[in-house]
């Protein structure tokens, strides 16, 4: 059933803006065809126990009920005004925030919004086949929750494009539905969003590491002087927390299952679980891919975005100093075959400053996984984040070879050890071979531990996904 625009929950007074309505009315059927074509395959007619944001009030943003995904009410929400906001950093600090796009920042803002927007449909495309191999009903429901909310994030960004960027905004909105993850002629903009996610270990790693980049990008944009962008991304962050939970606890449950088998003297691989070394290799793959999303270590774009008040630091509003002038940031960069220290102006290191916060957060999650290992009785083995230089595709270390400890290797040395660093083709085949669907409520696959508790206070054996009635 096609939705009418009236059914779109929103707090942007959609019904009073005829021009915007017309633009969205034209875009909406294309969005729905895109969803049906490359959204979750095989589950469009199922009833899924989903959370829908129906208002921004505390009791409205997490309304739970059964819904078929194509009927999901993709809403448009901005965090409500909090009085008079002023720009909180950069050269225009203290001036009133912009409620419209300033001409001089139009191109930069459009680029920022399109780049963020492109990741939302991309991840839905990447994950479209996963439903067929779900480890449990609980996980299946969480996958679809993430998928529909990424769909809503696309709506949120498309609203900004349609509302504030006129004709080129509409063109950009159309192109967001035309690019395809992994396509050779029209790929998604960022690399990690063209990687295949065809097994659930990759999905959990993606939700843990790659979606977490999204949290930091959104948090930096939540400080933006362009008020509609700041308020849109603030609301998106409330949903993003669940995605990160799905990733972090998903990996944790894989670790737990592996640890329990090892502690019992069994070989996880023979018991249909993921061996410890493979979990480490998947971390080694997804962490650097996600680090790359923050951009180059030294970036004049990042400096410009900060100077002009478009993109702040993580929790900029809690920092003491907001100009970042006359300060430097110390980096280690490769030069003539050696790593040398370099001091760069702080503003030019803003990507790296944001990446620092991200890395701390990832380390916190790895510490938690290591606690799970220890609690199960596994000693002398811990999971690690690879060094930031390892396997990078962006920045001064890209094209060079480092091991996961950050040691510089020759291309030949790297090649000879690569199979111990990163998942091989056989590793991927093995992981895929574990992925048998488990759809009996309350049961989980052999390679993952039970979750701690259900969704929305429901029991673990709740029927989170119901097949269509015959």
Q: At what angle do helices 106-126 and 211-221 cross, to 10 degrees?
A: 160
Q: Whole-number minimum distance, CB 14 to Fe ion, in Å? A: 21
CB of 245 to Fe ion, least distance (A): 11
Identity of the residue, 354 or 445, whose beta carbon is nearer to Fe ion in the bound complex: 354
Nearer to Fe ion among residue 87 and residue 201 (C-beta): 201
Rounded to a whole number of angstroms, the minimum distance from the CB of residue 150 to Fe ion is 5
Number of neighbouring beta carbons within 10 Å of residue 374: 13
Min dist CB 45 to Fe ion, Å, is 25
CB of 71 to Fe ion, least distance (A): 20
Task: Identify whether the C-beta of residue 210 lies closer than 8 Å to the C-beta of residue 290.
Answer: yes
Count CA atoms closer than 13 A to 366's CA, side-chain side. 19
Comparing CB distances to Fe ion, the nearer of 79 and 150 is 150
Q: What are phi and psi for residue 395, nearest 5 degrees?
A: 95, 180
Query: Which window, 100-108, 188-196, 209-217, 339-347, contacts Fe ion (CB under 5 A)?
Result: 209-217
- Residue 365 main-chain phi, psi, to 5 deg: -70, -40
* Binding status of residue 243 toward Fe ion by CB under 5 A: yes
Q: How far apart, in Å, do the first and last CA atoms of the chain sit?
A: 18
Which residue, among 291, 242, 271, has the nearest Cα to 402 in the 3D structure?
Answer: 291
Region binding Fe ion by CB under 5 A among candidate stretches 17-25, 241-249, 277-285, 382-390: 241-249
| CA-wise closest residue to 335 among 388, 396, 284 | 396
Binding mask 164-203 for Fe ion (x = CB under 5 A): ----------------------------------------
Give 236 or 274: the residue with its C-beta nearer to Fe ion. Answer: 236
Interface residue with Fe ion among 150, 172, 195, 213 (CB under 5 A) is 150
Q: Quick check: 211 binds Fe ion (CB under 5 A)?
A: yes
The answer to the question of residue 51 lying near Fe ion (CB under 5 A) is no
Which residue's CB is nearer to Fe ion, number 206 or number 464? 206
Report in angstroms how near the CB of residue 190 gets to Fe ion at its nearest. 13
Closest separation in Å from C-beta 235 to Fe ion: 11
Nearer to Fe ion, 9 or 275 (CB): 9
Would you say 11 or 232 has its CB closer to Fe ion? 232
The residues, ordered by sequence, that sit 6+ positions from 312 with a Cβ below 8 Å of its Cβ are 88, 89, 90, 220, 223, 224, 306, 322
Contact region for Fe ion (CB under 5 A) — 12-20, 154-162, 239-247, 378-386?
239-247
Residue entry with tokens 């309304």: 63
Per-residue buried b or exposed e for 434-445, using 16+ beta carbons within 10 Å of the residue's own CB: bbeebeebeebb
Shorter beta-carbon distance to Fe ion: residue 105 or 153: 153
**CB–CB of 24/5 below 8 Å?**
yes
Phi, psi of 342 (to 5 degrees): -140, 135
Cβ-based neighbours of 33, under 8 Å, separated by 6 or more: none
Number of residues located near Fe ion, criterion CB under 5 A: 5
Provide, rounded to whole angstroms, the least separation between the CB of residue 242 and Fe ion.
8
Give how far the C-alpha of residue 187 lies from the chain's centroid of Cα atoms, to the nearest Å. 18
Which residues, 97 to 126, sit near Fe ion by CB under 5 A? 120
Question: What's the rounded Cα separation, in Å, for the pair 195 and 323?
Answer: 37
Which residues bind to Fe ion, rule: CB under 5 A?
A: 120, 150, 153, 211, 243
């Amino acid at each position: 059933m096609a939705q009418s625009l009236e059914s779109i929950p929103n707090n942007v007074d959609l019904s009073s803006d005829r021009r915007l309505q017309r633009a969205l009315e034209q875009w909406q059927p294309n969005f729905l065809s895109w969803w049906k074509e490359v959204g979750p395959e095989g589950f469009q007619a199922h009833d899924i126990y989903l959370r829908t944001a129906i208002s921004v009030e505390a009791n409205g943003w997490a309304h739970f009920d059964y819904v078929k995904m194509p009927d999901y009410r993709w809403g448009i929400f901005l965090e409500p005004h909090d009085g008079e906001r002023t720009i909180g950093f950069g050269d225009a600090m203290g001036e009133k925030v912009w409620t419209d796009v300033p001409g001089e920042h139009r191109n930069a803002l459009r680029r920022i919004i399109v780049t963020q927007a492109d990741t939302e449909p991309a991840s839905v495309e990447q994950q479209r086949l996963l439903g067929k191999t779900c480890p449990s009903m609980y996980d299946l429901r969480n996958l679809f929750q993430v998928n529909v909310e990424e769909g809503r994030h696309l709506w949120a960004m498309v609203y900004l494009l349609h509302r504030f960027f006129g004709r080129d905004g509409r063109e950009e909105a159309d192109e967001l539905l035309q690019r395809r993850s992994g396509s050779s002629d029209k790929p998604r903009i960022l690399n990690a969003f063209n990687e295949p996610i065809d097994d659930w270990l990759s999905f959990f790693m993606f939700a843990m590491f790659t979606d977490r980049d999204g949290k930091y990008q959104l948090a930096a944009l939540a400080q933006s002087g362009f008020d509609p962008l700041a308020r849109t991304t603030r609301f998106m962050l409330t949903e993003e927390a669940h995605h990160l939970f799905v990733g972090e606890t998903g990996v944790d449950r894989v670790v737990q299952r592996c640890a329990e088998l090892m502690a019992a003297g069994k070989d996880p691989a023979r018991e249909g679980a993921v061996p410890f070394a493979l979990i480490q290799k998947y971390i080694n793959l997804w962490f650097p891919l996600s680090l790359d999303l923050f951009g180059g270590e030294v970036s004049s774009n990042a400096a410009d975005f900060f100077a002009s008040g478009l993109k702040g630091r993580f929790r900029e509003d809690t920092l003491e100093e907001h100009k970042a002038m006359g300060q430097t940031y110390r980096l280690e960069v490769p030069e003539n075959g050696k790593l040398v220290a370099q001091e760069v102006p702080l503003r030019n290191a803003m990507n790296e400053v944001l990446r620092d916060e991200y890395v701390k957060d990832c380390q916190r999650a790895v510490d938690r996984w290591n606690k799970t290992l220890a609690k199960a009785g596994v000693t002398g083995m811990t999971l690690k984040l690879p060094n930031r230089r390892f396997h990078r595709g962006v920045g001064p270390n890209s094209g060079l070879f480092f091991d996961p400890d950050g040691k510089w290797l020759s291309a030949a040395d790297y090649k000879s050890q690569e199979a111990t660093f990163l998942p091989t083709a056989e590793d991927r085949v093995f992981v895929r071979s574990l992925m048998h669907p488990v759809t009996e409520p309350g049961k989980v696959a052999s390679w993952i531990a039970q979750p701690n508790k259900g969704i929305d206070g429901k029991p673990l054996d709740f029927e989170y996904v119901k097949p269509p009635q015959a």
